[in-house]
Amino acid sequence: MSDSKSLFAAATRVIPGGVNSPVRAFRGVGGEPFFVARGAGARIWDVDGREYLDFLGSWGPLILGHAAPPVVDAVVQAAARGTSYGAPTPAEVEMAEAITSAYPSIELVRLVSSGTEAAMSAIRVARGVTGRPVLVKFDGCYHGHADSLLVRAGSGGATFSIPDSAGVPEPLAALTLTAPFNDLEAVKALFAARGPEVAAVIVEPVAGNMGVVAPRPGFLEGLREITRAHGALLIFDEVITGFRVAYGGAQELYRVRPDLTCLGKIIGGGLPVGAYGGSRGVMDHVAPLGSVYQAGTLSGNPIAVAAGLATLRRLADRSAYARLEALGGALEQGLRRAGERAGVELTVNRVGSMLTAFFCAAPVPDYAAARRASTRRYARFFHGMLRRGVFLAPSQFEAAFVSLAHTDADIELAARAAAEAMREASRED
């Protein structure tokens, strides 16, 4: 038996589903996950010695690739000085200064340990600042697993949402309203019905969790106008897009300034870091300055912050984004050509170095359209690529990521594998 198989059997005996995060269990594509032994650059190796060209990059953080030398050196040096103090350190000031200088909308920023913590804290701040209870989110957007966010659209438009997870109380779910991504009319209708109750609108400015979906021209600007007109706060969840689509994130790319921003993934360089921040007027409400409480034993952990700072230092050379754009564009073209040659209906959505190949013909502007993609074909494509040594997200509704460790030859390898895997996927229909 393969080591991954025996490890998965052991894991399922002591870990729910054998994994520490559900999407890793391959339920979206079938089969069993391989277990990773190590990574280096754009590649990872499983415990059976198989090599994979990695386009998951740990779901976004590894924009420099695996075991990037400056990151490893920074982690080793920080660890040798101690792992955690529960007291402020110089590196936390350096990280906060890096974030506030890259994001003009952020004057004060608080570090936490995950994207979930960042989003749940930003929502609490918005509710504390406005004194209002209702939150608006978008179908298909994911902001971590805080209760208020695990909801799905209720029966009617402006009526309340219902829980999308056991354990979420209905009265809490009812405080979250949902609208289709890219649909400003739906948002206007929610505000027409419930505007005085709305504390905030939270949005992934470029969606990554329904697969990659870019904002339509005017969508983000429209959210900015609507929230401002109704005294609600606009929260950009840039956990994926922060330092990914531009050094200053989607708010730099699309020139829209939110009231609060959530960050994560890349700012930890592969270690647990999240952050939320906004204007002084908003963040002055956060304890110990104000009455909105939020805390964390390992917030601003010196080793995690060292990994994040080493990553940001490399990205501060903005030529990194031209390179990421070139690599992302080449992969997009490779996937499109593969689909054309295989005669497969394919829509590739891309923003910079994050992209998704949807197995459907129509454009994909929102979650309803994404759900029309063939998850069966995606699953076959995923395994066809895996057999050819290319690791993509084990779900149609996620993003693939290119890093600075990927080479032109890597992209060509992936495009060749995609041409074969798509032909295979289409034959099995």
Tell me: does residue 264 bind ligand KE4 (CB under 6 A). yes
Give the residue carrying structure tokens 């080493």: 310
Site string for ligand KE4, 211-240 (x = CB under 6 A): --------------------------x-xx
Tell me: does residue 116 bind ligand KE4 (CB under 6 A). yes
Tell me: does residue 54 bind ligand KE4 (CB under 6 A). no
Distance CA 264, CA 76 (A): 21
* Burial class of 16 by CB neighbour count within 10 A (0 to 12, 13 to 18, 19+): exposed
Distance CA 300, CA 261 (A): 17
Question: Would you say 23 or 298 has its CB closer to ligand KE4?
Answer: 23
Indicate which single residue of 52, 103, 142, 378 sits in contact with ligand KE4 (rule: CB under 6 A): 142
User: Footprint of ligand KE4 on residues 174-203 (CB under 6 A)?
Assistant: none
Catalytic residue among 103, 137, 139, 142: 142
Indicate which single residue of 23, 37, 174, 298 sits in contact with ligand KE4 (rule: CB under 6 A): 23
DSSP label at residue 216: P
How many residues would you count in the chain?
A: 429
Query: Least distance to ligand KE4 from the beta carbon of 412, Å?
Result: 27
265 is catalytic: yes
Q: Is 404 helix (H, G, I), strand (E, B) or coil?
A: coil
Question: Would you say 41 or 264 has its CB closer to ligand KE4?
Answer: 264
The type of residue at 375 is T
Q: Nearest-CA neighbor of 375 among 84, 26, 6, 18?
A: 26
Q: Which stretch binds ligand KE4 (CB under 6 A): 1-9, 165-173, 204-212, 349-357?
A: 204-212
- φ, ψ of residue 55 to 5 degrees: the values are -110, 15
Indicate which single residue of 18, 41, 128, 144 sits in contact with ligand KE4 (rule: CB under 6 A): 144
* 236-270: b (≥16 Cβ within 10 Å) or e: bbbbbbbbbbbbbbbbbbbebbbbbbbbbbbbbbb
Instruction: Report CA-CA distances (Å) from 347 to 90, 276, 333, 373.
Output: 46, 33, 11, 9
* 203-217: b (≥16 Cβ within 10 Å) or e: bbbbbbbbbbbbbee
Site string for ligand KE4, 307-346 (x = CB under 6 A): ----------------------------------------
**Bridge partners, 401 (sequence order):** 354
Query: Least distance to ligand KE4 from the beta carbon of 407, Å?
Result: 25
Site string for ligand KE4, 117-136 (x = CB under 6 A): --x-----------------
Residues touching ligand KE4, count (CB under 6 A): 18
Question: Would you say 275 or 338 has its CB closer to ligand KE4?
Answer: 275
Q: Nearest-CA neighbor of 33 among 395, 354, 397, 425?
A: 395
Query: Least distance to ligand KE4 from the beta carbon of 19, Å?
Result: 9
254 is catalytic: no
The type of residue at 321 is Y
Indicate which single residue of 1, 13, 14, 21 sits in contact with ligand KE4 (rule: CB under 6 A): 21
Tell me: does residue 359 bind ligand KE4 (CB under 6 A). no
Question: Would you say 269 or 339 has its CB closer to ligand KE4?
Answer: 269
Indicate which single residue of 18, 33, 39, 115 sits in contact with ligand KE4 (rule: CB under 6 A): 115
**Bridge partners, 198 (sequence order):** 134
* 53-87: b (≥16 Cβ within 10 Å) or e: bbbbbebbbbbbbbbbeebeebbeebeeeeeeeee
**Bridge partners, 242 (sequence order):** 246
Torsion (CA) 263, 266, 268, 271 in degrees, nearest 10: 120
Query: Least distance to ligand KE4 from the beta carbon of 367, Å?
Result: 14
Query: Least distance to ligand KE4 from the beta carbon of 144, Å?
Result: 3
CB 327 within 8 A of CB 57: no
Query: Least distance to ligand KE4 from the beta carbon of 324, Å?
Result: 18
Catalytic residue among 46, 54, 183, 237: 237
Catalytic residue among 52, 183, 265, 367: 265
Question: Would you say 59 or 254 has its CB closer to ligand KE4?
Answer: 59
237 is catalytic: yes
- φ, ψ of residue 310 to 5 degrees: the values are -60, -35
Write out the catalytic residue numbers.
142, 237, 265
Residue numbers at the binding site for ligand KE4 (CB under 6 A): 21, 23, 59, 114-116, 119, 142-144, 204, 208-209, 237, 239-240, 264, 398
